[in-house]
Structure 1
Amino acid sequence: MSKEFLTAVADRRTFYGISKEAVVSDDRIKEIIEHAVKHTPSAFNSQSTRIVLLLGNHHDRLWDITKEALRKVVPAERFSSTEEKINSFKSGYGTILFFEDNSIIESLQQQFASYKDNFPIWSQQSNGMHQFVIWTALEAEGFGASLQHYNELIETDVKKEWSIADNWKLIAQMPFGKPTSQPGEKQFNTLEERIKIFG
């Protein structure tokens, strides 16, 4: 990785302007995902997060599916701005789909009944960590990315298109590509109102 960890964390931003130009090899993208999936923590070491990497025509197809799903629910007079937004994601190099394997969560609920209400929460927390690790690692390599949530609209079609197991629940979509524009300055609330330290 070309940046120190905390620098990469600070530099990670939401990029909407992205292109299909390659920044690193597909093998390097695969290495980043494999490293994140292997080393990101999960409650009870459940390892329930699942990742699907879409490149090339598969990436384009995802955003075509999303556009058509939105066309059914967005009024025609407002659809042009929606289409523009979806096309900005399609303009990227690839998309990472984040899932959770519900069969693992359900199994843990049965094994540890006293924690059953917590396992779905803990799985979401672990999925969020996977998202952050991959997002930050992609940024460190020179990609820009954003996190999207069209889950309910596209999950059935996504599972059908790529033969995804029924027990995988779609959590988020991360389109990424070479940045073509920079995000605005980030605003921060004061740390004093967000952190308390004792001792």
Structure 2
Amino acid sequence: MSQAFMKAVKERRSFYGLSKEQIVSQARIQEIVDDAVKYSPTAFNSQSARVVVLLAEQSDKLWNITKETLRKIVPEDRFASTEERINGFSSGYGTILFFEDQSVVEEMQMQFALYADNFPIWSNQSSAMLQFVIWTAFVQEGLGASLQHYNPLIDQEVVKEWGLPAQWKLIAQMPFGKPTSTPGEKAIYSVSERVKYFT
């Protein structure tokens, strides 16, 4: 295993301080996302992942949708902290939306009925691997990112705004950009309590 890969894995953290300064070209961002979608593993090679990349004003639009959706349900006296958090995500250069195409999942359930109950689980696991690949690749480019989950609250608005298929289920949102702050120390629990070896 290359040292560069493990270094990137160790350095992948949640960066909440971001700026809109473009430090990676759009072409490179597209190359990372396209390769991650093509080569991240999926159960039965189902390739159910769908990704939407929102840059600049399009990303701002997503976080405005999120903010206004939350404004309707968060008590007014507690909204200031929510708004500050959302503004932090909006301060980045872009946002990646991760979806899973439910029509693919349902087709796999029909094709392989014996495993039908597992395909939604495997779909989520595949999405998580894709998220990790992109997140880690971004670290190697000097980008900061975090993973957010405002679904299903914003699902309908997102599908409507960008004209996406109704079968695409929103899984997560990844705001990214140039890091403007450093994450704090990460607590790591004892590996001896989490891993067992038998020889």
**Same fold, TM-score > 0.5, yes or no:** yes
For 2:153 and 2:140, how far apart are their aligned partners in 1? 31
Show the counterpart of 2:40: 40
Q: TM-score, normalised by structure 1?
A: 0.98
* Partner SS for 1:153: coil
Q: Which residue matches 1:124?
A: 124
Runs of 4+ aligned residues of structure 1 deviating over 6 Å after TM superposition are: none
Q: Secondary structure of 1:16's match?
A: coil
- How far has the Cα of 1:4 moved from its partner? 1.0
User: Which whole-Å CA distance do the structure 2 matches of 1:72 and 1:20 have between them?
Assistant: 28
- Give CA deviations for 1:51-91 in whole Å, capped at 9, x if unaligned: 00000110000000000000000000100000000000000
5 Å matches for 1:20-35?
A: 20-35=20-35
Post-superposition Cα deviations, 1:145-193, rounded to whole Å, max 9, x if no partner, equal: 0000001110000000000100000000000010000010111000000
Q: Deviations over 1:119-151 (max 9, x none)?
A: 000000000000000000011100000000001
* Counterpart Cα distance in 2 of 1:140 and 1:14: 14
Alignment of 1:179-194 (within 5 A): 179-194=179-194
Percent identity for Structure 1 against Structure 2 = 63
Q: Which residue of 1 is the match for residue 90 of structure 2? A: 90
Deviation at 1:44, TM superposition (A): 0.3
Cα distance in 1 for partners of 2:84, 2:156 equals: 23
* CA distance in 1 between partners of 2:100 and 2:152 (Å): 14
Q: Secondary structure at the match of 2:154?
A: helix
2:185 partner SS: coil
How many pairs does the alignment contain? 197
Query: What does residue 15 of structure 1 align with?
Result: 15
What secondary structure sits across from 1:151 in the alignment?
coil
Counterpart mapping for 1:41-120 below 5 A: 41-120=41-120
C-alpha distance in 2, partners of 1:181/1:24? 18
CA RMSD in angstroms, aligned pairs only: 0.7
Task: Classify the secondary structure of the residue corresponding to 2:50.
Answer: strand
Partner of 1:196: 196
CA distance in 2, matches of 1:79, 1:187: 29
Mapping 1:135-150, distance limit 5 Å: 135-150=135-150
Amino acid of the structure 1 residue aligned with 2:142: G
- How far apart, in 2, do the equivalents of 1:170 and 1:31 lie? 22
Structure 1, unaligned runs of 5 or more: none
Cα displacement string for residues 12-40 of structure 1 (whole angstroms, at most 9, x for unaligned residues): 00000000011110100000000100100
Q: 1:14 corresponds to which letter in structure 2? A: S
* Corresponding residue number in structure 2 for 1:161: 161
Q: What is the CA distance between 1:103 and its match in structure 2?
A: 0.3
